[in-house]
Structure 1
Amino acid sequence: MRLGVLTTIFAAASTAVFAQNLTVATGAPPTSVDPHFYNAAPNFALSMHIFDRLVERDAEVKPYPGLAASWDAIAPTVWEFKLRPGVTWHDGTPFTAEDVAFSVARPPTVPNSPASFSPFVRAIQRTEIVDSHTVRFHTAAPHPLLPVELGSIAIVAKHAVEGRGTEDFNSGRAAIGTGPYRIASSIPGDRFELVRNDAWFGPRQPWERVTYRVVANDTARVSALLAGDVDLIDQVPSTDLARLRRDNRVSIAEVQGLRLIFIAFDRSRRGNLPLVTDNDGRPMEVNPFDDVRVRLALTISVNRQALVERVMEGAAAPAGQWMPPGTTTHAPEVPVPEYDPEGARRLLAEAGYPDGFRMTLFTPNDRYPNDARTAQAVAQMWTRIGVRTAVEALPWSSYSGRSSRQEFPIRLAGWGSSTGEAGSFLISVLGTFDRRAQRGAANAARYSNPELDALTDRAATLLKLEDRAAVLRQAIRLATDDVAMVPLHNITNSWATRRGLVHQPRMDERTVAMGTRPAN
């Protein structure tokens, strides 16, 4: 019997029977079951079902104990973590400090990672196993954010993973976690079948089985919800939000998200950028994006309010930086750039491009809400100032790999600062790419600013939040003055459930079955 038929049968049954199964339709495909392979929200959301972390983050990205029962800085450069007793892996093997030491050492070693988790463990110089349930992390300097950063590192089973690679997670051989669900089967790019782990140390989950489906098409995702084929969808299309709010068959859950949608300039080459030419189609000997006047012209020629109103239909807020208002390290002195197409033309002329040039903007078409539509709208704005911009939209499965290989001259991207602080973006996206320093793991554009790196490193050592926030706001101002990228908008995260369910929206936009409950 097909899963959709089963879902319909359960929907008609009593709440007690219905509450055994949940079908989730997500708009963005997880690219791997390996929780250390790709620091992207779809991958992270899937891994949260199977694996736990020492420190977890709630829907408002506030930390709370996970596999660590407690933690404390016992010396300026030593953090001690006491592990939760009695935890077992899905195969019944006891969880110990050996697994923790193995897990924090693994992210920098994962091959072909498009965006590594290594920045979250870069501060750890040495891991000391005190006993089976006590581990100490030694850092070179005081590092107050280590517990928050470890909230991004899934703990994997040493006995199941050692000597194995990402493909072994995808096949299920290494996908043995301590989390609330076990993976039963998967069809990459289509669905993942999860079964409840009744031995989980956390609260008992109402769902005996979770089907995690990938439905990239917005219309198909909404239709599946309204037809009763799925119970929960994410990335509710902005075009459907008003209609769905009036539909008594569904409920909408929304929250201001931490994700910035932005455009990054390729800085990996000094000239001859692919698909960037003069108006006659000839390659350019210099990289126009190396000129801050060109970068500034492109950012002030974007009408962000129009993007929010016409493309996002109100489901976003214009952005001039990556941290939204209300977060601890938002810099209120950095405004949303004013729309000034005439000023942009003057800047282009000053930079030596009075007649502009031609380029191709790359974007995913199934990763972020209205991603391709946003790119098309921005391209039209740039074309109006003389920078004739074509758009090439690709599925995320193709876009992500090509982007990490610096194949794109200019790209639309997104980043959710799930730690709740500006440092995440600074280290991973704007930090100078350096594998040894574990910096710039998601810096596909290869932007580099040593002064910005120095501010980032300084902030990481400051114990007081107000001192750290002040330095991070200084870094935001510096990145803005240098036009390190073109910020567009912060997304409002939205989900829709069918009637009878309640979903807790997360600021980090992760779609997890653990956040969904029967209404009564």
Structure 2
Amino acid sequence: MAFSGSVFFDYGIPRFRVRRTEKGYCVCHLLQFYTTGGDPATHFAGQGPFLATTVFEGLVDYGVDLSLLPSAAKSWTIAPDWSYVDFDIKEGIKFHNGDPLTAEDVKFSLDLCMVKKYKHILGADYRRQIKEIQVTGTHTVRFYLKQPAPDLWKRLWWSGPIMPKKYREKVGDKVFADKPIGSGPFKWVDYKQDQFFKMEALKKHHRKTPEFKTLKFVYVPEHSTRLAMAKAGEADIAELIGPHIPVIKADPNIKILQTKHTIGTSLAFFDLAHPDQPSPFKDIRVRKAVSLAIDRKGICERIFFGNRSPWGEPLAPYNLGYDPTVKPDPYNPEKAKALLAEAGYPKGFETSVNGARGSKYFWEPIAANLADVGITAKIKIYEGGAWFGAHKGKKLRGMKVRNSWYDVEIHPGADLQNGYTSDNMWTYTKLPEVHKAIVDSMSATSDKDAAAWGRKISKLIRKDYKRPMLWSTHYSYGLNPTIVKWEPIKGSYPGGRYEYIKVKN
């Protein structure tokens, strides 16, 4: 069933819209691609589901309530000692070029994501957990594991895209990035790197056939432009940043949908990655002073307008071991000044705060808070690829915000590993104790043991102020009347399940 109208998902990263001038046309806006063309093996940041669950699909799917559902796999069996997992793949699934999806394609795709040169965001995690993938039949595959992997399921949904082995080997990486083929509910149509990519719904898909025909992701980094599109009716679903909230609330044609606790945000100190170089941040008193200088409540109320909450617990409420009694540091600039003086910086010092495009609006009040206690923080904003390059090249100094949890998982170690493990490509400053605890926590396969590990990891993170928590993000979406129903996955970003969106005829 097609619809006439425009759907625009305005994400802090991607933004979607559907033009009302074309029947069944959906356009989604991106902050940046985070892949080379449509090659999911090169996915290096948090927007994997935009490709992995649209053009491609994984072995498993997730429901709105975080329930585990079949996708390419119809069932799976875990060995009692977690030494392996067997997957039974649905027969009859075809890639968009007509080739059948088999166990060979599953092995090929996951092996590819583990190849270091592709810099896949979960490559290090997969390499740490998966010993070998073995084809045991045309439609059966076994994952031999190095350790229990309670996070494997969400990873395989989030960024475990199955690619056609025969086609990719024939055309090579470059052509595959230009003309990717998957087995998801949408097929690839066209793209221009870092500008847009376009896909079209299948007429029938084994998981769910979309109700609209065309989906397009477009690079629109300016917050004001996206807001104008939403208010003009060019966007059916728009992800909202804080300053958008009061404007959208005043518009009777747009309703707000919020997904709670999708990302936990902490403050990270780049200088700690350079032990041979002096820095004020190497003194715990300075790090604590920075935390006390930030008015979390004021920023969440006046800058984020309720789509973030002050937060002190490194865990999300969905995580086992979460402690609701852990509160964020209070706003106490006088105590911050005293700590700075005690550490030998009575007049403060100069530093920098760093972020990708689109983050300046919240860095400005943080920098103002720091200035109030004597810390002069220059704001440095990086465009797309330059931000990634600066990370990989270890060129950054000063501070940045860093995810604690991202795209919620129930197991605490699974949820925190991308934010804290040393081998993750976005981890700049290593925390060896935390890394070890997270890796060790993966052996916990009961809820009781996992909760105990969650509490231990939380205490380790909080003890030395190397990653003080700032806030929890509740992703907010503005929905225009075209959208009858959309239910993002609880705690997940991106919200996913785009093929399930219900629209007006």
* TM-score, L = length of structure 2: 0.87
Deviations 1:373-430 (A, max 9, x none): 2212111222222222111122334323322322211223446144344324542221
Give the direction of change, closer, same or farther, for the CA distance of 1:221–1:142 in structure 2 (3 Å limit).
closer
Residue 259 (structure 1) aligns with:
263
SS in 1 for 2:135: strand
Residue 502 (structure 2) aligns with:
517
CA contact (8 A) 1:417 1:424 kept: no
Q: 2:455 pairs with 460, 464, 473, which one?
A: 473
Give the direction of change, closer, same or farther, for the CA distance of 1:197–1:46 in structure 2 (3 Å limit).
same
CA contact (8 A) 1:30 1:46 kept: no
SS in 2 for 1:510: coil
- Equivalent residues in 2 for 1:299-448 (5 A)? 299-366=291-358, 371-409=359-397, 410-414=399-403, 416-424=406-414, 426-432=416-422, 439-443=423-427, 445-448=428-431
Read off the aligned partner of 1:51 and give its amino acid letter.
F
In the alignment, structure 1 residue 83 sits paired with structure 2 residue 89: yes
Deviation at 1:208, TM superposition (A): 1.6
Extract unaligned runs of 5+ from structure 1: 11-17, 273-285, 433-438
SS in 1 for 2:420: coil
Deviation at 1:440, TM superposition (A): 2.7
Q: 1:7 pairs with 19, 22, 30, which one?
A: 19
Residue 192 (structure 1) aligns with:
197
Read off the aligned partner of 1:139 and give its amino acid letter.
L
CA contact (8 A) 1:376 1:391 kept: yes
CA contact (8 A) 1:258 1:420 kept: no
In the alignment, structure 1 residue 484 sits paired with structure 2 residue 466: yes
CA contact (8 A) 2:64 2:488 kept: yes
In the alignment, structure 1 residue 232 sits paired with structure 2 residue 245: no
Deviation at 1:199, TM superposition (A): 4.6
* In 1, Cα distance between equivalents of 2:273 and 2:57: 36
Q: Which moved more, 1:192-201 or 1:160-169?
A: 160-169
* In 1, Cα distance between equivalents of 2:74 and 2:287: 47
Residue 27 (structure 2) aligns with:
23
Deviation at 1:53, TM superposition (A): 0.8
Residue 156 (structure 1) aligns with:
163
| Root mean square deviation of aligned Cα | 2.7
Deviations 1:488-513 (A, max 9, x none): 11111122232131322343221553
SS in 2 for 1:22: strand
Residue 13 (structure 1) aligns with:
none
Give the direction of change, closer, same or farther, for the CA distance of 1:456–1:104 in structure 2 (3 Å limit).
same
CA contact (8 A) 1:26 1:233 kept: no
Q: Which runs of 4+ in 1 moved over 6 A?
A: none
Deviations 1:102-143 (A, max 9, x none): 222222314263844431452111222211111111223333
* In 2, Cα distance between equivalents of 1:379 and 1:240: 22
Residue 504 (structure 1) aligns with:
487
* In 2, Cα distance between equivalents of 1:30 and 1:219: 22
CA contact (8 A) 2:209 2:499 kept: no
SS in 2 for 1:8: coil
Extract unaligned runs of 5+ from structure 2: 7-17
Deviation at 1:249, TM superposition (A): 2.6
Residue 145 (structure 2) aligns with:
139
SS in 2 for 1:176: coil
Residue 58 (structure 1) aligns with:
63
Read off the aligned partner of 1:211 and give its amino acid letter.
K
CA contact (8 A) 2:259 2:492 kept: no
* In 1, Cα distance between equivalents of 2:72 and 2:186: 15
Deviation at 1:204, TM superposition (A): 1.5
Deviations 1:72-109 (A, max 9, x none): 11341121111111111111111111111122222231
Give the direction of change, closer, same or farther, for the CA distance of 1:166–1:400 in structure 2 (3 Å limit).
farther
Q: 2:102 pairs with 81, 85, 96, which one?
A: 96
* In 1, Cα distance between equivalents of 2:415 and 2:88: 29
* In 2, Cα distance between equivalents of 1:248 and 1:332: 36
Give the direction of change, closer, same or farther, for the CA distance of 1:359–1:165 in structure 2 (3 Å limit).
farther
CA contact (8 A) 1:37 1:117 kept: no
Residue 477 (structure 2) aligns with:
495
Give the direction of change, closer, same or farther, for the CA distance of 1:149–1:194 in structure 2 (3 Å limit).
closer
* In 2, Cα distance between equivalents of 1:42 and 1:126: 26
Q: 1:460 pairs with 442, 449, 469, which one?
A: 442
Read off the aligned partner of 1:256 and give its amino acid letter.
K
* In 2, Cα distance between equivalents of 1:268 and 1:454: 18
Read off the aligned partner of 1:458 and give its amino acid letter.
D
Deviation at 1:325, TM superposition (A): 2.9
Give the direction of change, closer, same or farther, for the CA distance of 1:338–1:228 in structure 2 (3 Å limit).
closer
Alignment length (residue pairs): 482
CA contact (8 A) 1:255 1:494 kept: yes
* In 1, Cα distance between equivalents of 2:200 and 2:39: 18
Residue 114 (structure 2) aligns with:
108
SS in 2 for 1:159: helix
Give the direction of change, closer, same or farther, for the CA distance of 1:118–1:388 in structure 2 (3 Å limit).
same
CA contact (8 A) 1:54 1:151 kept: yes
SS in 2 for 1:45: helix
SS in 1 for 2:243: helix
Deviations 1:259-315 (A, max 9, x none): 12332111321244xxxxxxxxxxxxx133333222222222211111101111111
Give the direction of change, closer, same or farther, for the CA distance of 1:48–1:147 in structure 2 (3 Å limit).
closer
- What percentage of residue pairs aligned between the two structures are identical? 21
Deviation at 1:353, TM superposition (A): 2.9
* In 2, Cα distance between equivalents of 1:265 and 1:114: 24
* In 2, Cα distance between equivalents of 1:297 and 1:96: 56
Deviation at 1:251, TM superposition (A): 2.9
* In 1, Cα distance between equivalents of 2:315 and 2:177: 34
* TM-score, L = length of structure 1: 0.85
Residue 12 (structure 2) aligns with:
none
Read off the aligned partner of 2:367 and give its amino acid letter.
A
